[in-house]
Structure formats: structure tokens, C-alpha cells
């Protein structure tokens, strides 16, 4: 789950980290109150949206008066922000953060995240903050340092000295930097973060360190114990994806026209891949999970059928935890309630496969049986090609 | 020989009184595995479908001589269940549970560093030594005793590879699902090494997917040490971009993590790549001729 900048900064502030004073507003009507709370009429208005590159795209503006702050806020809220990261569809701005402007002398980069291969938490540092870290990694990889605090100990003095030296901090900045690094490490653990990125970590003109912008992602598996971060787990999801999640289904809408219902994330991806291999495009990723109920299977089928781009449906189930007869009953139930508007290809294999196949065969429904994965994918791709050719 | 589990495996199930725990304990027993009991706190002393239930893993091990456990405990408590099994001296821990917080798994990973036990998973289907022993949730009947070792991050893709190699008469020695979570026990490399050293295994199927660098590391090992034919399949070439964790996570892995980089690394190591999941068995069959 991603947090907006204002939500992330609230966590940083709670942890005692130096962030500029700021107030979030959801409409221009709230600007006056916010500026009164901030005690000034000059500052920076920052669009709250899940993307980098906001500045270049016009999502970050300076203001010098209340009227200007209101005007900028009213323009930003509801606007679609298109950046190099969002793609042409952009992201909608629903809030604006009004913040004290900092006078910046230097911009650094500091992130805490997981290094999967090393199975450890990693600090990623660069003296060249303020820009995309991927660009730094590509063009000047020598300006990136990764350090690994010892698990259970946190960042030690030697590691912090190395980090501080690499960032080119002065002797008087080393202690406040060490404090920031320790607090970020502790916050990463306390809030089950997947990513805690401070970019830029700024040195202001007085020589003090300030956390100017942040990107905070929380581990989705830990949301059961992280309910007070202010984030919305559904913030970036399509309505169908939210509906699917209620039934324990993992669904991601895509651009193609073959709807897929598969069990297991790996097989779901492989099914998308094989559809693409035979020249068609998957309309979605859908993993019904290992222990879905008949009801969940019915729901999955409804969600796929509800996508108007879908011209054929491919069900590919290899029953392990979930027996094939349960899948078959779910499909039959769904077809009986919602009707079958497009060709349906079903491939079942694994636990109770014979019962599942028998149920489908004896249902009297017009379902195309796929003998194996290749056969099923070919048949699904062929029905779409046939429909497109108007045959 | 096969690897990891065999006729001497004595299995307990943590979370045996839950629906999935009981169902799969029965399935493993039906397959021929010695399922010697299970653990559910506060239900010790009872029995469920002939399985003795104990309050703790230590007690279960003492009473039954269990050397292997499979874990069906709900995600919020699963990390502690793994640690409990390790502390009790269980040699092989297979964690089926899905959705364990990453930091819990980091804690487990570090706690297991100085223990002798082997962890498989979490979020995995388990292990099957064909015709002999099954630990986990894989459908038993698709396996056939034979010559191929299989290692995979995905459960259902493991079944796909098993099924195809069975149909082609190759059969399997041992199939291992290592699980799809970022922090996990045995890696592709660990299992490939075991299969490479196993005298009964004549060919190896490696199934990976996008993300992380497990497959790249396995490729480096294969290049150096593996003379047996290896067939690789990587899922996720058509997966949408942008559903990833963010910048910092991406740069840790550099260019690694894409389906293409994994296929390239495996090809460079002499691995035959199956372009679709449907041709894994056929490619292995050809490589074995």
C-alpha cells in the first residue's frame, strides 16, 4: 500500500524527524485555515498523487499570497497530472499539501528498503538527490552506496560514519544525520514498510537537514497490524479490483480481450504469457487463490464477464488445494445466473479432475473443453481471431 | 535417493485442526507419508481423524519422533510457528501459509542462520518425492516415479511441470515448490545443487517468475557445475509494468528481475528455455534423448 506524501510526512513527524511544517487541503475552501495554522502566506503547494516527477509536470507551485494559494489549489484539485511515470492516462489529484518553503543548499537521497537477494534491510544513499534514483543508477552508479545495518542491531556508528562521509556531510551534520538514519530504520520496522524513500533529504541554507519529500509503501501482508498509517489500501485500484479483493481474488485489469481465470499467481502469469504467445492479449490477471469458495469462483466469473472488452474467457485450473469439482460448480453456477455471452474455454487438471469434467459435461452448457494448457490457449485465441475476422 | 523427503520422513502438521491442515494431512497420509500427528495449541490430548494432536511442536517431536513439519498456521502467527519448529529440533520445515509479513520472515531468516534445520517456503506447495512421500498441498496422483527433479517458485506451475513430465513417461525424483515470497527458505540454487548431487535425478526443470534475482543466481551455479540437462521456464513476460515496489527496490536488483534478463541468464548457462508453460515437458523430453 502506498502512502501519499502528506500521510508519509505525518508518520515522519510522529517519529520525531525534521520535516517542514505543512497542512493538507482537499479543497480551496480549506486553504485560509491551513495558512493560518502555518502562520504565513508564502510557501509551496504540492499536488498529492502517486507519481514522481510532479514538479516538471506542473504539480508543484510556489505561492506568495492567500489568493494565489487558493487559486493554485483550486486549479490542482481535480486535475489529472501526467508525468513521465504515469503514462498518458495520468493520475487524478485529490489533495494539495501546503508547505513552508525551504531554502535548499544541497539535495541528497536516502532510502530504506528490502534487499531480497541479501535478505536484509538496505540503506541506499546518494549525494545526488532530488532526481530519479534510477537515472543516477544508470548514469553515475558510483554515486550510489548501499549499506546493510545488522539485523537486530540497527545502523551502527561505523556504518553511519561511512554514510555521512559518502554524502559529504560536515562534522556538525554527522550527529543529526545519524539520528535521522536511526529513526528511519526504526520507523521502517515499526510500520512494516516495504519502501521508505526520502528524496530529497535536503541540507538547507542554515546547514540543517530536512526531509523534503517522501515515498512510503507499507507491506500489504502486514496491513492487518498497520491500520493507523492513514493510507487507503484501495487508493490505486480499479472498482472491479476492489470488488474482487472482497472475495479473496487477486485481479488486475489489462488491455486485451481474453478474460482469464486461473489458480496460482505463477500459472496466471504463464496463462497470460501463452495467450500472448498465440497472438492474442489477456484482458486481466486473475488468481482465484488456493482455497476459493464456489461463491468466489462465481464472483470471479461475473467480474471477467463484466469487462466489456472481453471476447472470450479462458479458465485454467490446476487443482491442488482447490479441487476441480468446486471450480466446475462455481462456473456452472455463474453461467446459470449471468448467462454466457462469449465463448468459454475450460481446462481443468489435478485434484478431483474427473468429477469436475463430468459436472461440466453433464451441465448441458456450451462450454469448450481444453485438453491441456496449449490446446486451451489455442482455442481461446482462435475464437477471438474468428470473431475479429467476422467469420 | 531423491532429495529432502523419503520413506523415513515422519511428518507432523502445525495447524492440523484447521480445515486445510486436516484435509492435507489426510491427503499426505493417503499418499503414503508417515503423518505421525499434529499441533494445535490448547487442543493437545485430542485426536482428529486418527491423528494425535499435541499442544507444542516440542511435545509432538518427543512423543512421535517427528523430523518434518508442514505449517498451515494463519499468517499473523506463522512466523512464530516456524521458529517453534526450529527450536524443537525439527529438521525440515515446510511453510505452506500465504501472506506472512516480510519483516516477520526477515526475523525468521536471521533466527534460522545458526540452526541446522531447512526451511521451505513460505507461500509454497511443498515437496513430493514421487511415489514415496508427499509433504504439502500438491495433488498426489499427477506424480510418477522417475528421473526429473523440479524446482519452482509457483505452486500450480510446479503441478504443470509434474503433470507434463508424467505424461511423457519421464516421471520425477523430487518436485520442490520453494514459494513466491521475497524472503524465503531454500532458493532455486540450493535445490538445484541438491538435485545435481542426487544420483537418481537425470534432468532438472527450473521454473521461475519475474522479480528478485534467485534465477540469475541459480544460472551462475548451473553454468559452473551442472552437467545434467536443465529446462527453464520464466513466467511473467506479459505482465504489466508499474506493478512493482518502487524505485529503490528496482535498483537493488539492477537490470535483474525481468523475464528477459532471467531467460538470458539461463540460456547463457546452457539451459533450454521453454517459451510457454505448455512445452516444459516436451523440452525436457527432447533434452533427455
On the question of pLDDT at A100 being above 80, the answer is yes
Residue with cell 501546503: A98
Residues of A with catalytic roles: 109, 197
Contacts of A308 (CB under 8 A, 6+ apart): none
The whole-number pLDDT of residue A321 equals: 64
Which of B20, B209, B242 is the closest to A269 by Cβ? B209
Across the range B79-108, mean pLDDT stands at 97
A13-22, A321-330, B7-16, B184-193: range with lowest mean pLDDT? A321-330
Does B139 have pLDDT greater than 70?
Answer: yes
A–B CB contacts, 8 A cutoff, strictly below? 187
Distance CA A298, CA A328 (A): 10
**Cβ contact B198:B3 at 8 Å:** yes
Res B130: pLDDT = 97
Interchain CB distance below 8 Å, B248 and A374: no
Q: What's the mean pLDDT when you consider all of chain B?
A: 92
Secondary structure element (H or E) that encloses residue B195, with its range: helix B188-197
Most confident of A90-104, A127-141, B62-76: B62-76
pLDDT of B250 strictly over 60: no
Q: Give me A103's grid cell.
A: 531554502
Q: Which helix (H) or strand (E) holds B145?
A: strand B145-152
Question: Do the chains contact at A266 and B207, CB–CB below 8 Å?
Answer: yes
| Nearest Cα residue to B156 out of A324, A361, A357 | A324
Residue A290 pLDDT level (bands cut at 50, 70, 90): low
Residues 6+ apart with CB under 8 A from A82: A57, A88, A89, A90
Nearest to A266 among B180, B240, B278 (CB): B180
CA A259 to chain centre: 22
**Spatial separation of the C-alpha atoms in residues B200 and A350, rounded to whole Å:** 26
Residue A388: predicted pLDDT:
67
User: What is the model's pTM?
Assistant: 0.92
**Does the pLDDT at position B32 exceed 60?**
yes
Mean pLDDT rounded to a whole number for chain A: 91
Say yes or no to pLDDT of B246 above 60. Answer: no
Active-site residue flag, B247: yes
Residue of B nearest to A85 (CA): B242
Instruction: Tell me A282's DSSP state.
Output: B
SS3 for B183? Answer: coil
A266 contact B CB<8A: yes
Q: Taking a contact as any Cβ pair under 8 Å apart, which residues of chain A between 96 and 125 contact chain B? A: 111, 113-117, 119-122, 124
* B98/chain A closest Cα distance in angstroms: 9
Q: Rounded to a whole number, what is the largest CA-CA distance in chain A? A: 80
Chain B residues with beta carbon closer than 8 angstroms to that of A270: 154, 157, 160, 233, 235, 276-277
Contact status, residue A104 vs residue B222, Cβ threshold 8 Å? no
Q: Return the residue of A nearest to B177 by Cα.
A: A266
Phi/psi for B84 (5° steps) reads -60, -45
- Residues B160, A286, A230: CA angle, nearest 5 degrees: 130
Amino acid at each position: 500500500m502506498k502512502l501519499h506524501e502528506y500521510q508519509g510526512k505525518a508518520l515522519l513527524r510522529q517519529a520525531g524527524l525534521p520535516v517542514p511544517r505543512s497542512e493538507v487541503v482537499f479543497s480551496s475552501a480549506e486553504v485560509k485555515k491551513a495558512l493560518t495554522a502555518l502562520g504565513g502566506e508564502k510557501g509551496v503547494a504540492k499536488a498529492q498523487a502517486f507519481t514522481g516527477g510532479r514538479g516538471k509536470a506542473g504539480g508543484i507551485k510556489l505561492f506568495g499570497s492567500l489568493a494565489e494559494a487558493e487559486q493554485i489549489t483550486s486549479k490542482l484539485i481535480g486535475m489529472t497530472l501526467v508525468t513521465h511515470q504515469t503514462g498518458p492516462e495520468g493520475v487524478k489529484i485529490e489533495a494539495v499539501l501546503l508547505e513552508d518553503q525551504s531554502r535548499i543548499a544541497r539535495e541528497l537521497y536516502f532510502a530504506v528498503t528490502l534487499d531480497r537477494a541479501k535478505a536484509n534491510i538496505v540503506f541506499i544513499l546518494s549525494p545526488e538527490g532530488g532526481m530519479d534514483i534510477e537515472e543516477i543508477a544508470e548514469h553515475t552508479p558510483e554515486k550510489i552506496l548501499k549499506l546493510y545495518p545488522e539485523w537486530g542491531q540497527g545502523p551502527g556508528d561505523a556504518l553511519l560514519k561511512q554514510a555521512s562521509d559518502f554524502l559529504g556531510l560536515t562534522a556538525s551534520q554527522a550527529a543529526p544525520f545519524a539520528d535521522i538514519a536511526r529513526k528511519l530504520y526504526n520507523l521502517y520496522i515499526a510500520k512494516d514498510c516495504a519502501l521508505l524513500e526520502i528524496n530529497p533529504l535536503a541540507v538547507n541554507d542554515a546547514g540543517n537537514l530536512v526531509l523534503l519529500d517522501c515515498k512510503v509503501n507499507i507491506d500489504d501482508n502486514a496491513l492487518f497490524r498497520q491500520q493507523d498509517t492513514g493510507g487507503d489500501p484501495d487508493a490505486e485500484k480499479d472498482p472491479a479490483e476492489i470488488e474482487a479483493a472482497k472475495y479473496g481474488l487477486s485481479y488486475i485489469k489489462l488491455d486485451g480481450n481474453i478474460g482469464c481465470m486461473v489458480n496460482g499467481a505463477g500459472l496466471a502469469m504463464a496463462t497470460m504469457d501463452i495467450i500472448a504467445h498465440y497472438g492474442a492479449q489477456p484482458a486481466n490477471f486473475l488468481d482465484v487463490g488456493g482455497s476459493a469458495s464456489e461463491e468466489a469462483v462465481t464472483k470471479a466469473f461475473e467480474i471477467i464477464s463484466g469487462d466489456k472488452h472481453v471476447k472470450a474467457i479462458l479458465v485454467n485450473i490446476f487443482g491442488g488445494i482447490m479441487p476441480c469439482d468446486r471450480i466446475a460448480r462455481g462456473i456452472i453456477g455463474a453461467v446459470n445466473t449471468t448467462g454466457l455471452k462469449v465463448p468459454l474455454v475450460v481446462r481443468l487438471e489435478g485434484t478431483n479432475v474427473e468429477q469436475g469434467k463430468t459436472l461440466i459435461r453433464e451441465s448441458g452448457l456450451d462450454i469448450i473443453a481444453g485438453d491441456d494448457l496449449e490446446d486451451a490457449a489455442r482455442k481461446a485465441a482462435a475464437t477471438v481471431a474468428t470473431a475479429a475476422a467476422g467469420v | 535417493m531423491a532429495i529432502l523427503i523419503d520413506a523415513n520422513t515422519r511428518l507432523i502438521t502445525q495447524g492440523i485442526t484447521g480445515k486445510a491442515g486436516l484435509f492435507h494431512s489426510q491427503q499426505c497420509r493417503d499418499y503414503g507419508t508417515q503423518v505421525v500427528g499434529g499441533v494445535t495449541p490448547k487442543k493437545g490430548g485430542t485426536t482428529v481423524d486418527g491423528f494425535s494432536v499435541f499442544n507444542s511442536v516440542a511435545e509432538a517431536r518427543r512423543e512421535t519422533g517427528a523430523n518434518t513439519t508442514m505449517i498451515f498456521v494463519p499468517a499473523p502467527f506463522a512466523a512464530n510457528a516456524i521458529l517453534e519448529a526450529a527450536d524443537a529440533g525439527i529438521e525440515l520445515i515446510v511453510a505452506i501459509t500465504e501472506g506472512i509479513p516480510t519483516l516477520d520472515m526477515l526475523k525468521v531468516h536471521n533466527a534460522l542462520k545458526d540452526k541446522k534445520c531447512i526451511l521451505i517456503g513460505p507461500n509454497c506447495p511443498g515437496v513430493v518425492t514421487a511415489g514415496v512421500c508427499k509433504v504439502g498441498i500438491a495433488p498426489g496422483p499427477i506424480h510418477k516415479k522417475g528421473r526429473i527433479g523440479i524446482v519452482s517458485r509457483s505452486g500450480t506451475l510446479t503441478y504443470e511441470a509434474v503433470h507434463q513430465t508424467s505424461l511423457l513417461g519421464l516421471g520425477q525424483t523430487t518436485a520442490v515448490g520453494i514459494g513466491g515470497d521475497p524472503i524465503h527458505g531454500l532458493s532455486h540454487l540450493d535445490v538445484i545443487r541438491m538435485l545435481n548431487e542426487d544420483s537418481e535425478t537425470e534432468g532438472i526443470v527450473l521454473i521461475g517468475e519475474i522479480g528478485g534475482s534467485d534465477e540469475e543466481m541459480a544460472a551462475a551455479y548451473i553454468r559452473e557445475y551442472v552437467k545434467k540437462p536443465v529446462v527453464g521456464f520464466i513466467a511473467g513476460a506479459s505482465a504489466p509494468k508499474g506493478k512493482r515496489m518502487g524505485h529503490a527496490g528496482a535498483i537493488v536488483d539492477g537490470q535483474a528481475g525481468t523475464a528477459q534478463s532471467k531467460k538470458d541468464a539461463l540460456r547463457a548457462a546452457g539451459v533450454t528455455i521453454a517459451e510457454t508453460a505448455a512445452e516444459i515437458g516436451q523440452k525436457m523430453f527432447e533434452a533427455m534423448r
